[in-house]
Amino acid sequence: MDFVEILKRVNRDLYDSSDKAALPKLARFLERSKGIGGLLKTNNAVLDAFPISSILKLQDVYEQHQAWKDAFRNTKRVLATSKLTLPDRSLTKTAFPHELSALERVAKMCQRAGYADLASWENAVDAHLALWNACVSLAMDQTMISSVISASDHADVSHFESYAFSRQNVKELKKYLWLGARRGEKAGVLKIELELPSSHFQTQAKAYIGQMGLAAQSRDIAAVLEELVENNIDAVVRSLIDNEAEREALQTARDAYVGVLSVPKPDAEKIVSVYVGSADSARGLVVVDNAGKMLETREVPVSQSITDAVTEVLTSSEATAAVLPVSAGDDTALREVGDLLDGREELTVVRILPAALAIARQKLAAPAPIASALILAFRAIRPTVEWANVPASAVGLGEFSADLDEAKLEAALTDSRLLLAYEAKRNVSGGGPGKRVQKKRPLNPLVRTIRDLKPGMTLDGIVTNLTKFGAFVNVGLATEAMIHVSQLSTDFIEEPSQVVKVGQTVNARVLEVIPEKGRIALSLKPAGADIPKRQQESKELQQARANASAIFNDDELDKLKEAALQGPPAGRGASSPYSGMSRQGGGPPMSSGGGGDVPKKSRNEALADLNALFKK
């Protein structure tokens, strides 16, 4: 099966949205260049036919095609060695390695000698493969997965406890949870158990057995299922989930890397870069020009106020931009510096990921705090060049990037870096004849300063960093906005990464703006999501008031509410706080009048309704 046919099967939406005439050309060039990365380096014009957003997805399909080709060659070797045969038609109809592996079993179960003609044999083989694919589809839809602690006395059990979970459907299982459980399984702490939909396999087998020919019809259905499906499907399901989780983790790393590389370059002649490390280590300040030339340095001891030092350097240098790390060991000091810088509206503040500073500063002959501040400045000025020198595994793009194959991660990040460069060139050149690409419009062009923001407004933004307590978002201002973890979803989440990724575009609602402190709070929740739903209670309360108005006057109702909220008097046990109160004039319950008929209730019933509702 060629690249285009596999694309149809594995990503039909991508196939439908692609230039059909350009796809065969792309396939040829991908083979020659060994992937999108090689193609991007050659600046091949065939890429101009595809949207930027599709290019890395096409790379994923190319990798699946290569995996299929390797499996196809292996299956041909197995068949030749075992002196078994299969119809070429059946082999070329596959798109996944697990299908080819299944056909190796089918070759033993469904041999040519048992069929009168070629057509009946081909149909029987296809029926075997169809049964296998039906069972795989069912398994990937209905399997229930559990992860249990298998070694409670293991030294690392506390590290993996959060990855133990009870029965979850395979489709709903979070991939980060699966990756964590797999790590725990490899460490010998956890055991993953799959509950496959075996009864449904039986149903499928009954549907296909009549098409499998005499060899299968003469055998028990359970035996056919065991040989073709049940002995292998557990491992295949695990492998397929592994592949999905790996693709998702790689995509998360790509998105985060693009976010790191796409931080807006500070447009200033002089830039102050501030390094804040741990609470017991010196800080570093450097002033550079927009080409990265160092103009001034200052090492700030722990005993000295970092905010005072930053203020002095800003004043003396007349810098109009500043660079800060997005995180630091001394988060209090970092927050103080951030508040100071964000409070200056004339100052552009850029926050940079401080990953792998120890590796990067080895090439600089300067004290660690100064070298670290200088590297942060370089990453802001020339991010593509600087980050290219940092090993992929050291960038720290997600909790599970360290579990990915380092070569795959390096290739994915390299492709992302090359794609950004290609996108910039395509935006300038117009993307070739008839493919002009407009430059991206600025974020929220009508918002020029923080004082233009008002609660309730909606803003476009790009997620620049994730922390335990929320997500930082660039909204086109010098001040970054913050979405607290509680405002990321209406559902309970443990980590911001469950909802958003670095580099992701979001549309958020402004919750709060404090210009004096440079604070912008956003929310991804719909307006009103945090307001308790009291509509039903209000109707009940209105009904209870209507019932009570036929019995009590307004002054008595106010006293009833106050008594209900205070609870029973001390020493009175559960006695009613309403004893001694009576309707003036006595008499039976009456209609409220004027507001439609109200069901008549006794005095005690009206009191009980009010007592319950006033306490809600």
Q: What is the DSSP string of 286-337?
A: EEEETT--EEEEEEE-TTS-HHHHHHHHHHHHT-SEEEEES--S-HHHHHHH
Is 502 contained in some domain? yes
Is 148 contained in some domain? no
pLDDT band at 439 (very low <50, low <70, confident <90, very high): very low
The percent of residues above 70 in pLDDT, for the chain, comes to 82
Q: Is the pLDDT of residue 204 over 90?
A: yes
Q: Which tokens in the block code for residue 21? A: 């005439």
Strand spans (E) along 408-534:
458-467, 470-474, 481-484, 505-514, 519-523
For 132-158, the pLDDT digits (tens) are: 999 999 999 999 999 999 999 999 999
Question: Which of 221, 253, 285 is the C-terminal boundary of a domain?
Answer: 253
Q: Which residues pair with 272 in a beta bridge?
A: 287, 322
Q: Is the pLDDT of residue 477 over 90?
A: no
pLDDT band at 111 (very low <50, low <70, confident <90, very high): confident
* 343 shares its domain with 461: no
* 104 shares its domain with 8: yes
Is 182 contained in some domain? no
Average pLDDT over residues 199-208: 93
Q: What is the overall mean pLDDT for the chain?
A: 83
Return the top range by mean pLDDT from 169-178, 434-443, 529-538. 169-178
pLDDT, residue 603, reads 56
Residue with tokens 């000295």: 304
Do residues 255 and 343 make contact, with C-beta atoms less than 8 angstroms apart?
Answer: no
Q: Which tokens in the block code for residue 380? A: 């802001």
Average pLDDT over residues 462-467: 80
Q: Is the pLDDT of residue 65 over 80?
A: yes
Q: Is the pLDDT of residue 434 over 50?
A: no
Q: Is the pLDDT of residue 182 over 90?
A: yes
* 92 shares its domain with 133: yes
Q: Is the pLDDT of residue 284 over 80?
A: yes
* 236 shares its domain with 138: yes
* Domain region containing 606: 535-614
* 488 shares its domain with 519: yes
The helix/strand count (H/E) of the chain reads as: 24, 13
Average pLDDT over residues 62-79: 94
Is 167 contained in some domain? no
CB environment 570-584: b (16+ within 10 A), e (fewer): eeeeeeebbeeeebe
CA 280 to the chain's CA centroid: 35
Does 547 or 116 have the greater pLDDT score? 116
Is 486 contained in some domain? yes
pLDDT band at 205 (very low <50, low <70, confident <90, very high): very high
Determine the Cα–Cα distance for residues 476 and 483; give it in Å rounded to an integer. Answer: 15
Q: What is the CATH number of the domain that holds 457?
A: 2.40.50.140
145: part of which helix (H) or strand (E)?
strand 144-149
Q: Is the pLDDT of residue 115 over 90?
A: no
* 596 shares its domain with 497: no
Question: Which of 523, 558, 587 is the C-terminal boundary of a domain?
Answer: 523
For 320-367, the pLDDT digits (tens) are: 999 999 888 888 898 899 889 888 888 888 888 888 899 998 888 899
Determine the Cα–Cα distance for residues 471 and 246; give it in Å rounded to an integer. Answer: 23
Is 195 contained in some domain? no
Is 427 contained in some domain? no
Neighbours of 32 (CB within 10 A): 11
Determine the Cα–Cα distance for residues 391 and 407; give it in Å rounded to an integer. Answer: 10
475 closest CA partner among 452, 499, 501: 452
Question: Which of 193, 225, 253 is the C-terminal boundary of a domain?
Answer: 253
The percent of residues above 90 in pLDDT, for the chain, comes to 42
108-112, 160-164, 178-182, 402-406: segment of lowest average pLDDT: 402-406
Do residues 326 and 455 make contact, with C-beta atoms less than 8 angstroms apart?
Answer: no
For 246-270, the pLDDT digits (tens) are: 988 888 888 888 888 888 888 899 9
Determine the Cα–Cα distance for residues 94 and 138; give it in Å rounded to an integer. Answer: 18
pLDDT, residue 597, reads 44
Is 186 contained in some domain? no
31-45, 274-288, 460-474, 559-573: segment of lowest average pLDDT: 559-573
pLDDT, residue 174, reads 87
Q: Which tokens in the block code for residue 115? A: 């069929």
Do residues 148 and 190 make contact, with C-beta atoms less than 8 angstroms apart?
Answer: yes
pLDDT, residue 45, reads 84
* 483 shares its domain with 553: no
* 546 shares its domain with 501: no
For 525-561, the pLDDT digits (tens) are: 887 776 554 444 455 556 666 666 666 565 665 665 5
* 478 shares its domain with 549: no
* 47 shares its domain with 115: yes
* 125 shares its domain with 207: yes
pLDDT, residue 596, reads 42
Average pLDDT over residues 213-219: 77
pLDDT, residue 611, reads 59
36-50, 370-384, 466-480, 551-565: segment of lowest average pLDDT: 551-565
* 458 shares its domain with 480: yes
Determine the Cα–Cα distance for residues 563 and 554; give it in Å rounded to an integer. Answer: 14
Do residues 468 and 495 make contact, with C-beta atoms less than 8 angstroms apart?
Answer: yes
State in Å, rounded, how far the first CA of the chain is from the last one. 66
pLDDT, residue 53, reads 84
The residue type of 466 is L
Structural domain count, the chain? 4
